[in-house]
Amino acid sequence: MRVNGKKTGEDLLLRPGDEVAYYMTPAEEGMTSHFPVYEDESVLVVDKESGVSSEALFSELSERGPLFAVHRLDRNTAGLLIYAKTEEMYAALLEAFRARKVEKGYEALVFGTPKSPHAVYEAYLEKDASASLVRINGQGRGEKIVTEISLLERRGDLSLLAVTLHTGKTHQIRAHLAYLGLPIVGDEKYGDHVRNRALHATRQRLLARRLVICSEECPTLLGKVFLSTRSL
């Protein structure tokens, strides 16, 4: 990426008039931004590609007609996003997410092996706005986070994990797994830069795999299970 003609890989504060150029490989140029998963008169569920920002995807999909963005994923996180097509469903889904009546299941490919094949971990998260990241600690500073992980598969010195969020904070999965000594492959912010380079991994291997609406305020979606068909 170049900003005002200068190559950069860092987070920068843009100003009016700045020129940003992003160069893609031939593979990236042929990349599809999303795959459709489900649609009816009130909702749209899509499977977002890694490398596509939630904001850009929303802008693209909005060209089809009125659409409301209910939640988002990091640009380099692939997986399921649900959009409302009516104001009534938008309000219902917002309340469902707020009341934690939406089950969100993730998968992550990480360096290392968890100490237990299944465990629930608690810690505390502090936002560092100046560095555009979050920091995890066990001393009670910041907001409490709870992350559940299960080992799905060993791949040499890598592990495929199922991850369930019991709290939903910014960058929780990426930062908490790194804190536990299980950095996500390809994560350039919280991960292992040396091992990422060795694998030529430039995008985090994190997938929003499963989405289930459990709110009675969304009767047409109640109990529906949406799944991504991607692999990590």
53 found inside a domain = yes
218 found inside a domain = yes
Torsion, Cα of 119, 212, 123, 148 (10° steps):
10
Do the beta carbons of residue 174 and residue 135 sit within 8 Å? no
pLDDT of residue 21: 65
45 found inside a domain = yes
Residue 127 structural domain: 2-227
Strand partners, 44: 39, 83
pLDDT of residue 135: 96
Q: Say whether 183 sits in a helix, a strand or coil.
A: coil
pLDDT of residue 61: 95
190 Cα distance to chain centroid: 14
Give start and end residues of each alpha helix (H) in 180-219: 193-199
185 found inside a domain = yes
Can you give the pTM of this predicted structure?
0.84
Rounded to 5°, the CA angle 72-122-214 comes to 45
pLDDT of residue 59: 92
> What residues have CB less than 8 Å from 13, skipping those under 6 apart?
none
Report the domain count for the chain: 1
pLDDT of residue 15: 73
Tally of CB atoms within 10 A around 36: 10
Show the tokens assigned to 5: 């003609």
211 found inside a domain = yes
So which residues are the catalytic ones?
A: 74
Torsion, Cα of 124, 128, 131, 132 (10° steps):
80
93 found inside a domain = yes
Q: How far apart are CA 5 and CA 18, in angstroms?
A: 10
232 found inside a domain = no
73 found inside a domain = yes
Rounded to 5°, the CA angle 11-67-216 comes to 105
pLDDT tens, N- to C-terminus, the chain (232 residues):
677 777 776 666 667 777 766 555 545 555 688 999 999 999 999 999 999 999 999 999 999 899 999 999 999 999 999 999 999 999 999 999 999 999 999 999 999 999 999 999 999 999 998 888 999 999 999 999 999 999 999 999 999 999 999 998 999 999 999 999 999 999 999 999 999 999 999 899 999 999 999 999 999 999 899 999 999 9
Domain of 218, CATH number, reads 3.30.2350.10
Q: Any idea how long the chain is?
A: 232
Q: How far apart are CA 76 and CA 60, in angstroms?
A: 17
